Amino acid sequence: MIKDNSIRWKLKLTSPKERVYHMLSTGEGRASFWAESAIEKEGFIHFVFPNGQEYLSRIINNRKCEEFSIDYFGSVATFMLKEEKEHTILSLLNQDVDGQEINEVNAGWVSVLMSLKAACDYNIDLRNHSSECHWDNGYVEN
């Protein structure tokens, strides 16, 4: 059941589904667009972000090239992949987001998803990798 405190986004990519899945499901992939480091060990991802924040995320579901779900800051983030003509459609559903943080989290997902598209489709890293110029200080780079 989808609850009210949910965020939904779709992203159309030119990359094949296998590449998009690799970006989401591997430490190397996640570190290329999402976090400074995102190493997986024994079913958990240790995210390290530019502002120094860290989060240990549990992998909830991992169906190769179809779905990847994680616990993400107390919510559940599910990435679903499907092929549509010559594109990959990524659907994000982030459930149980704290109501007081939903606007910031919603904007954060736009930043993450656009960084994913740039990295996946164009091999471009949009992030600045600065410990000072990050989301908490008003910068849009994740």
Of residues 132 and 122, more confidently modeled: 122
Mean residue pLDDT of the chain comes to 94
pLDDT higher than 70, residue 15: yes
* pLDDT score at 139: 86
Q: Residue 1 above 50 pLDDT?
A: no
Q: 25 and 19 in contact (C-beta within 8 Å)?
A: no
Task: Report pTM.
Answer: 0.93
pLDDT band at 142 (very low <50, low <70, confident <90, very high): low
Does residue 130 or residue 113 have the better pLDDT? 113
Rounded distance, CA 70 to CA 12, Å? 21
The full set of domains in the chain, from first to last, is: 7-137 (3.30.530.20)
pLDDT value of position 19: 98
Residue matched to tokens 């159309």: 12
pLDDT in tens, 57-107: 999 999 999 999 999 999 999 999 999 999 999 999 999 999 999 999 999
Mean pLDDT value across residues 33-45: 97
Give 17-35 pLDDT, tens digit per residue. Answer: 999 999 999 999 999 999 9
Tell me the H-state helices in the chain. 17-25, 27-31, 102-122
